[in-house]
């Protein structure tokens, strides 16, 4: 294998098996806004053949498309290209940019560009790849695939590698699911990112500072789509949000779970994973508490029988209270229907306060404050629980009703006298996306002294 930019990389098993060649194209001039990249590449007399794959560094695509801006404020350029902040550490930001790519600084690059300027990624890298491919077909009469590449860092791996951000005429993914391996084992999750592997191969000869922005791969014609055949662009390589288990950094994930928590009143019939609820309880019991105590208990009503027994008893107690208040049967029925959110949930949790370890002072003021400390600690645990459920993509609704009939709840659930129910939490998969929360100005809730 030759060094970066010096010529050719040959891949194969050395024993007559499959092989390929990768080489960098020399003779590319400095690219300027408005240049036709296909014409510039054709002018180097690249000797392209049908089935070759051309690997083009995104920087020259950006230059040709005029994606160069004055860098008076690089952070502002990053802001303009950012759709969502994934993680932040100091001044470094990992973000999702407008092309859907998750990368450092939204792909805004100050290297290989004149001082005082930065390069933005192509607005539509797949369209850029199509234009180069079509231009080379017109100029040279060859059927090639084109991959536009950029340099990425990767989670859990040190070092950078090139990946595909745009593609045309290339089968970017090789889906092996449904097949078998050499031992006959079924392949159920194997989807190969072929375009990324091509991009990395090209980077071995292009290098980062050698002035060789274009490489060619030969010998892998099977990855080049026939004219008229379906071939996805590189956008197909971007993992969708629903399948992305690592969508956010740690602190950002916590903030999103807090801000995305909503009161959900309609649930699907999908069962709730008991493990997810227990993980949320594990988060709940990390809340602060007075005197090194553990004032939280969570009663998990995982069976329909237990939920029905509790809710029927609570409904009867509530109706009796409403009748004592002078409510009409119609108004009572209406209020009971509104309160049925707990019955519609596939899982129900009753958080309880225990005062074990509390102090008794014999002074009303201090004894009241002591109980308030424990109630606040229990509330912190419940909030942790709700936020952790949101992190598990579970909806929840905290309802205060058990606090109004504690004796009924203790009897229905066979709880100790010392356990004080603090409402109930309905848990399940939301039946619909929650409505947007009204905007709240933080300054309305802050007093500075």
- State yes or no: pLDDT of 397 exceeds 90: yes
- Number of domains present in the structure of the chain: 2
What pLDDT shows up at residue 378?
Answer: 96
How is residue 33 written in tokens? 């806004």
* Same domain as 293, residue 341: yes
Residue 94: C-alpha distances to residues 73, 102, 160, 246, 258 (Å)? 18, 7, 14, 12, 20
Q: Name beta bridge partners: 161.
A: 152
pLDDT in tens, 95-152: 999 988 998 889 998 877 888 888 999 999 999 999 999 999 999 999 999 999 999 8
* Same domain as 274, residue 228: no
- The Cα–Cα gap between 238 and 231 comes to 15
Q: Is 411 in contact with 392 (CB distance < 8 Å)? A: no
Question: Residue 80 falls within a domain, yes or no?
Answer: no
255 three-state secondary structure: helix
pLDDT in tens, 18-43: 899 999 999 999 999 999 999 999 99
Domain ranges, residue 320: 250-445
Lowest-confidence segment of 238-242, 297-301, 314-318, 373-377 by average pLDDT: 238-242
- The Cα–Cα gap between 320 and 317 comes to 5
Rounded to the nearest 5°, which phi and psi values hold at 261?
Answer: -65, 130
pLDDT in tens, 66-105: 998 887 778 888 999 999 888 887 788 889 999 889 988 8
Burial class (CB in 10 A: 0-12, 13-18, 19+), 232: middle
Contacts of 325 (CB under 8 A, 6+ apart): none
Lowest-confidence segment of 35-39, 209-213, 261-265 by average pLDDT: 209-213
CATH number at residue 37: 3.30.1330.100
Q: For all residues of the chain together, what is the average pLDDT?
A: 88
Quick one: how far is CA 398 from the chain centroid?
26
What pLDDT shows up at residue 254?
Answer: 76
Rounded to the nearest 5°, which phi and psi values hold at 247?
Answer: -70, -25
pLDDT in tens, 423-444: 999 999 999 887 888 888 999 9
Question: Residue 96 falls within a domain, yes or no?
Answer: no
Lowest-confidence segment of 189-193, 296-300, 394-398 by average pLDDT: 189-193
Mean pLDDT of 229-238: 79
pLDDT in tens, 339-377: 677 888 999 999 999 999 999 999 999 999 999 999 999
* Same domain as 299, residue 237: no
Q: Which of 243, 278, 304 is the last residue of a domain?
A: 243
How is residue 171 written in tokens? 């089968």
pTM of the entire predicted model: 0.67
* Same domain as 231, residue 143: yes
Helix (H) or strand (E) holding 20: strand 19-24
What pLDDT shows up at residue 16?
Answer: 65
Q: Of all residues in the chain, what percent carry a pLDDT higher than 70?
A: 94
- The Cα–Cα gap between 340 and 271 comes to 18
Burial class (CB in 10 A: 0-12, 13-18, 19+), 230: exposed
Question: Residue 113 falls within a domain, yes or no?
Answer: no
């Amino acid at each position: 294998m030759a060094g970066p930019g010096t010529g050719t990389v040959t891949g194969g098993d050395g024993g007559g098996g499959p092989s390929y060649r990768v080489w960098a194209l020399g003779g590319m001039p400095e690219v300027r806004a408005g240049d036709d990249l296909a014409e510039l590449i054709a002018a180097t007399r690249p000797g392209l053949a049908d089935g070759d794959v051309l690997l083009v560094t995104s920087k020259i695509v950006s230059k040709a498309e005029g994606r160069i801006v004055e860098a008076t404020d690089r952070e502002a350029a990053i802001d303009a290209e950012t759709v969502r902040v994934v993680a932040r550490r100091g001044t470094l930001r990992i973000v999702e940019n407008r092309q859907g790519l998750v990368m450092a600084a939204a792909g805004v690059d100050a290297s290989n560009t004149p001082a005082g300027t930065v390069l933005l990624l192509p607005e539509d890298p797949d369209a850029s790849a199509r234009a180069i491919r079509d231009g080379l077909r017109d100029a040279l009469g060859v059927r090639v695939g084109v991959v536009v590449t950029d340099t990425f860092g990767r989670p859990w791996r040190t070092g950078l590698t090139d990946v595909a951000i745009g593609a045309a005429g290339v089968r970017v993914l090789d889906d092996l699911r449904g097949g078998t391996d050499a031992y006959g084992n079924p392949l159920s999750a194997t989807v190969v990112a072929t375009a990324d592997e091509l991009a990395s191969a090209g980077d071995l000869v292009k290098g980062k500072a050698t002035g060789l922005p274009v490489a060619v791969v030969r010998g892998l014609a099977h990855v080049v789509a026939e004219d008229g055949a379906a071939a996805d662009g590189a956008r197909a390589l971007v993992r969708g949000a629903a399948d992305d288990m690592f969508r956010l950094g740690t602190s950002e994930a916590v903030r999103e779970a807090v801000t995305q928590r909503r009161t959900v009143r309609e649930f699907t019939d999908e069962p709730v994973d008991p493990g997810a609820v227990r993980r949320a309880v594990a988060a709940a019991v990390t809340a602060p508490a007075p005197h090194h105590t553990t004032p939280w208990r969570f009663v998990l009503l995982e069976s329909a029988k237990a939920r029905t027994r509790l809710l029927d008893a609570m409904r009867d107690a509530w109706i009796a209270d409403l009748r004592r208040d002078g409510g009409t049967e119609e108004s009572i029925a209406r209020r009971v229907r509104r309160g049925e959110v707990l019955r519609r949930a596939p899982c129900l949790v009753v958080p309880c306060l225990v005062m074990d370890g509390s102090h008794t002072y014999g002074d009303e003021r201090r004894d009241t404050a002591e109980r308030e400390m424990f109630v606040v600690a229990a509330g912190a645990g419940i909030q942790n629980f709700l936020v952790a459920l949101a992190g598990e993509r579970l909806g929840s609704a905290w309802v205060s009703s058990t606090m109004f009939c504690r004796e009924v709840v203790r009897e229905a659930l066979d709880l100790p006298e010392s356990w004080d129910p603090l409402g109930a939490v309905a848990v399940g998969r939301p039946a619909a996306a929650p409505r947007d929360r009204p905007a709240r100005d933080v300054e309305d809730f802050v007093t500075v002294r």
